[in-house]
Structure 1
């Protein structure tokens, strides 16, 4: 019994190490106290019960339940005792915390309901390990529960940062020590000598695991259970779309919405709207919880870090502004869309709230922009859709007008980026900026904006651009945010008049690139400090250069003569007669080739259908077509077995293995009184197909193709009769 008690500290350490493996989910700070307490208490309880008297296992199992509940209430669930949420948190932690962790971007927040899962898993591993150590003689069995807990931690933290290599090496050492303790001889002297002699070997084994671990080849991607768990459905984070607030903000431009403490001005993104139903733009974001981390962007653009401290002043709703793209958020409970990186507060924003964001803003390479191609992934294809509108049964007439406008604006473009830039430039010159323009961005409102009104806010220019671009194959979405800010002391004041809407176009490798189709506001100062600077200004200049590239040399003083126009026929000029003749010949040749190549396939399909008897006869007719490739002429007067002998002479003796059984089946079908068996029909076609392969090997594919193109291949071969001579 003493030797078994000595194994309990080892099983407790194994359970604690397994609990520490959850650091990839929460970080070490929240996990260490939970794992230590959850490993020690059940181990001590098992030792206490075994020391009083040998209690049955069911007594220990029953006793551990209230012990766990009391320990959890005093540690992990202690914050919930005062607000009355103890029962709800306990239920969520036991039943649903695993799914919450799998649908949360790591590191997960150290909430009681989530940490309760760590407490429960470690407790069960420690309790099971202690009981196995006390009640069994198997050497390594008490370590199995801790290994199972370690596996749970690995699965839940597969996307987390950090490494479990050191903990895995510690687990190897502890397992070796456990086996030494449980395998040493019973004699006290010899037992301790064996244990002491084995400890260096256990330490060496752990060191070897630690050293070799990074170099172990892994041939497959790790299993990620997050891919098997359905994320929460898209939620409407705010009843009012940020796009619908643009007009109101512009009419009251001096309201301070938030302040930013940052090293430079940027475009402070608020929301991304990627779905258009013909009437309004909405967000298809799938917001998931996150502790603080935001996953990186999948594009290949170089980025620079920008820390920001944002204080909410008068900004309503739940959309949390930040520079693109956020990587870490502290001080505000948020959910995040992993695709776009857009942040939404868990609760509506309140004046005075302050949070910190670390963003990675793009650094645009002008050379990459010039050679960029349009993206063709699933997201880009979805960003090309132009629905007809709710309840519409036919395409709105405005879509054709929009397509005509976009093609005229980009007629001289040589590249996708130039096409996108020229469309933005055309819109800036086509209409005027006006804060009094009526809101709305459906097909009818955009048609009025482009045709009659020609006055609009950034809402109209951006949404018009997005729809126009989709008509010419540019995948687009809408970004709502704020441009720059006004420097006041050491902070930037972002006011309601700084609101801006940008369309974005997705390019392969670059990702979503913003364009600005909105002209400057009337009366805007040339040195207005509300505009963004740095990379944003660089991108706008590169796009402007691309849009004006075709115009270089088109001025009035350009003396370069235009290239000679190629002669062409005016619309309505009749084509010469020989053009019709060539077209007719081409149609006839194409029709003949199509018929010659498809007729055999249609005959084969027809022969395989029908009753079993008809299928057997069809298989025989197909065999005759195969033998025609090696010289079989008119077979109408040949018996089935005469055809088989012909095949043996011209194809080889191997053909008899197919022709003789097929001939027998044909004869029985014709002369036997019993109905043919469907299985016999299947065998007939197997023999016919086997004969076809032998004929192809004998005659060659080229010869068979020439015979297929012969006019007589369009006519099926007549079925052979019985009695008579073969006609060669």
Structure 2
């Protein structure tokens, strides 16, 4: 493969590697129809670069032309005109429009966290970043011939997911590495001559066997070793990057990013407000986690859903359970979730057709592009449903197989944890307990005791977060809840994690829930009754225990005083606004309309077709137009065998003859004739009399002879 051909093959590989890099954001954004225009623009840009390389041998001109095409496509796709139509050509107002879109994208990124719905503005920012990466790698790897160095650039889109411990698609990561290694394998550069000369000449191909071996090894490593290493033993000990607060947000619950941030730097931001007939709620529940790998929780898989009508509770209850209900009216502000916060008790609500209920997880789902943002709804709930007497009575159903009604994952224990040590501690704390309720109560009180300290500055680390917490005895609600869940499972009690909000503080006739009220708690299963919340997190954050889980009657702390927390482990909240923030409008990318990119591709494809026809016509008649272009064509065809470009034609002739096997008399004669024509063109007063057809024939003769002699030499070595 000649230098020109290798460059034509390398650019599509670079596009594939950069495009697959977008999938590294899969844990941070929600994929959807916005990927289609991005893929189309990347394909069109790669096509323009390849066609330009057919027309010029200059190393960086094709990348520059591709950048112009990409900028135009991004403009007409993501930057609307002042009247809302398509902005076909840039004008005086284009920079301001681009700046406004960039500001909107940044503002939206600051107002939400993973996984974020992709707005048109955010899609434009992602597209600009992906195309910038593709063009930069093309310039470095293909233009400059520094293919190996370009691999560091291709890692950029994967860094956020890896540093934040997000899961990444293994096949896509392996594909990125394979595409990059294919570029490296195809680009065995010559070390002779100056850098500019090597860049202009391009890279000579590596043997096909070496290229195939490199790609095979990459796939083996990417599909085999990488999945075992990522998340394997020791992975939790690797350093992680802590994002600045400005890059986070409190508009979505997330155990790895947002929950701790909500408890500290964004603690004063209002999330929702409610009024309740029976006073302050204990918690508002959003969703649950069932699988714990020793370090991280995974959300429960979605089960069968039904219309959110009637009494919503995991256990079968009669409608009479809500015959004398309490009433709660809830208004959500800037909370972009798919799960609706509801009280942790049997409840009913007036819901539209887009509201569904999943009994397996006790979650209320809403199918809206903006999620829960801006929702207002009324909930009727069974106040006082859970009592100590009912929980103790549920113990009679355990021996009859009552726990079989819940999935087995709620008893699973990952082998990364020191299960025996945790079980020994749990058994010691519950020794002599009369029933499941008393066991749960003792675990709760052990963790709420003076041995443990509430501290939001503690970051999750290690492969066994529970053992680490039991040793250090410092953490926030996630550590307390996780530890009680694991300890309960070692005792054979089905348990899971629930996430939502505490009841907030009173503000006039309503209660305001802020970021500081984000909370996680354990839920233990009681047959015939359902999942029951316990509160192992100390009162410094949660206030009083649930009424049914209070071991003795005492005057509870007042959790409703809206004052900065005096503990040094929690950052003081900023001055809280007195009203809920206006919900930021969010439009799903799939609903915004992407017709501009379809229209934009029409002229691009027409230009590409015209360019291809022109390139084919030129290739049929040859790239030789004069002695200089003939000499450049010869050098491209010979690759590294042509020597440094600083050599004179005579010196280059001697280099070509001395490098590699014998060319043969005919080829040497053609080389001499071409060298003479170049020298006459440069130095003779009358120039050269050689025709374009003669020079084209000389170039073809020398290049073909060089390739044939190289093949014969390799055959002799192999034999």
TM-score by length of 2: 0.38
| Higher Cα radius of gyration | 1
**Greater relative contact order, per chain length (Cα 8 Å cut-off, separation 6+):** 2
TM-score by length of 1: 0.37
